[in-house]
Amino acid sequence: MLISKTKEWSNLQAHCKQMQNVKMKELFNNDKERFAKFSLQFNNILFDYSKNIIDDSTIKLLLELAHSTNLKSKIKQMFTGKKINTTENRAVLHTALRNRNSKPVVVDGEDIMPEINNVLDKMETFVEKIHDGEYLGATGKKITTIVNIGIGGSDLGPMMVCQALEYYKVKDINSYFVSNVDGADIANVLKKINPETSLFIIASKTFTTQETMANALAAKKFMVSKLGDSADIIAKHFVALSTNINECKKFGIDEKNIFTFWDWVGGRYSLWSSIGLSIALSIGMNNFEELLTGGYDMDKHFKNADFKNNIPVLMALLGIWYNNFFNAKTLAVIPYCHYLRRFPTFLQQMDMESNGKYITKGNEKVDYNTGPVIWGEAGTNAQHSFFQLIHQGTQMIPVDFISFIANLDGDAKQHNMLLSNFFAQTEALMKGKTEYEVRDELLKENKTEDEINHILPHKVFEGNKPSNTILIDKLTPYTLGMLIAMYEHKVFVQGAIWNVNQFDQWGVELGKQLAKNILSELNSDTTITTHDCSTNALINYCKEKR
Ligand code: G6Q
């Protein structure tokens, strides 16, 4: 049965009607304990969800909805390796990759922890050798540049983490990420690097992805042109992160330099696996392990905390509250942290590729919204571009505000400016600005009555715009691990409630298939007639113009 047909859903619909006209400002005025009631702390993360259009009944009804979907047992199924990716018949065990207690995790009757730990050991040895200068390039030089070639899950996670943890970067290692099949991407990187000191990391679960293989071949061609055509060049300057060992070997990669992972690691959840090699090389293995520990500690919180004290569960339920009952179609994620500027991009894949589905696990078509559009940008830059729409636009846009109490760089004064904007925005979105307040301001500016009437409606802010505030002590590998895992579990809970398979991605597969057909047509000399008249005309126009 669709979740929308349950009594828990109808109860929320009825409750939403009552809450439509409730003003958060009044809720705050009437309850001085509102922050204490609607905020949670776990380790060094504070999650304040008091600036939402909710009361006690909202939370009670949302929790009833969660319980009605057997969420507890669905969580257990994921952690214990049940094949919850039903369309691909796979377990989903990115949590095992960061299982720091090495308790057995069994898939198909086999404990997978020894294998996971072997790969981690292999990564550690490799990273140390690179850092110590024991591993040298083909001409005897130390490796100081790494170029990760991958796309989607084999790019976004490691790229975001390397950027987010740049402060912790090991000296002497520069990293680049190449993903786009547009030749400009790899060409721009190749222009900047020294072939003798560069290591290419070919990150691809399948080792067949068109974009990655094209870029890997371009890198190979470049290296051969610069250093000569010997097997040693490929063996010393290329490593692979993949489940497809045979294809890696065919490419010429030395078996010692193949870091494997497994089909139960989804691409967008793979940064915790050997796909994180670029992270470990950038920030050191100890820091990579700290990242895993952060993820692991969040896993424990998610698995063990009651739903009402469980940050990912509450985040997910609040998202459902707006997406399904207020019909808010998007969620803005705004990190007030320059290092996290690509975090929204990373989350886009994690969330939209996971829950952007309209068929349930029971093969029914949903009649409710699933995955929201995730978007965002670093604050304060976002304030100077699209925040206008959030403050005074016509649609409801819930926001997640993320920031850190301690600054890593710059002086404390400047960090306080950042934080003052962070707090001010959450407050302004909630409170708005009344006609009375605007009039008062304008009077103080000595405006005439005519001038006031002319400008007044434009300066009024209705407020009542919901947001979550996620405030963390300091950006470290550990806290970043917690933050990423927190969002992963939030996305899991939403998908579990919407009853979609969050772990397949047929839309991505479709793209891989479609482009292949057109590629052969673009390379042919004949006029194309196999598509609709628009697509035919576009392809033929392009061929004629060449
Ligand atoms: C992630 C998706 C997708 C995938 C890329 C790259 O969950 O499956 O983004 O990561 O298509 O695939 P390969 O790693 O196989 O090259």
154 lines ligand 1 (CB under 6 A): yes
206 lines ligand 1 (CB under 6 A): yes
Residue 13: how many other CB atoms lie within 10 Å: 12
Annotated catalytic residue 353? yes
The pLDDT tens digits for 191-236 are 999 999 999 999 999 999 999 999 999 999 999 999 998 889 999 9
Annotated catalytic residue 384? yes
Closest ligand 1 atom number to CA of residue 275: 14
Any idea which residue has 């009344």 for tokens?
434
The pLDDT tens digits for 57-67 are 999 999 999 99
Distance 376 CA to ligand 1 centre (A): 22
353, 377, 488, 521: the catalytic one is: 353
Mutate to test the pocket of ligand 1, among 85, 154, 208 (most ligand atoms within 8 A of CB): 154
Q: What was the pLDDT predicted at 124? A: 98
494 lines ligand 1 (CB under 6 A): no
Dihedral (Cα; 242, 248, 249, 253), 10-degree rounding: -100
What average pLDDT does the segment 158-179 reach?
A: 96
Compute the 3-state secondary structure of the chain and give helix, strand, coil in percent, each to the nearest 5: 55, 10, 30
Q: What was the pLDDT predicted at 282? A: 98
CA dist., res. 531 & res. 539, Å (int): 10
Closest ligand 1 atom number to CA of residue 206: 15
Rounded percentage of the chain residues whose pLDDT exceeds 90: 96
Q: Give bridge partners of residue 241 from the DSSP assignment.
A: 203, 259
50 lines ligand 1 (CB under 6 A): no
What would the two tokens of residue 25 be?
Answer: 């400002």
Mutate to test the pocket of ligand 1, among 248, 505, 506 (most ligand atoms within 8 A of CB): 505
CB 460 within 8 A of CB 433: yes
204 lines ligand 1 (CB under 6 A): yes
139 lines ligand 1 (CB under 6 A): no
CB 430 within 8 A of CB 24: yes
Q: What is the mean pLDDT of the chain?
A: 97
267 lines ligand 1 (CB under 6 A): yes
7, 67, 384, 516: the catalytic one is: 384
Q: What was the pLDDT predicted at 102? A: 72
Distance 276 CA to ligand 1 centre (A): 14
Residue (of 297, 335, 206, 339) closest to 479 by Cα position: 297
The pLDDT tens digits for 381-425 are 999 999 999 999 999 999 999 999 999 998 999 999 999 999 999
Mutate to test the pocket of ligand 1, among 270, 350, 508, 516 (most ligand atoms within 8 A of CB): 508
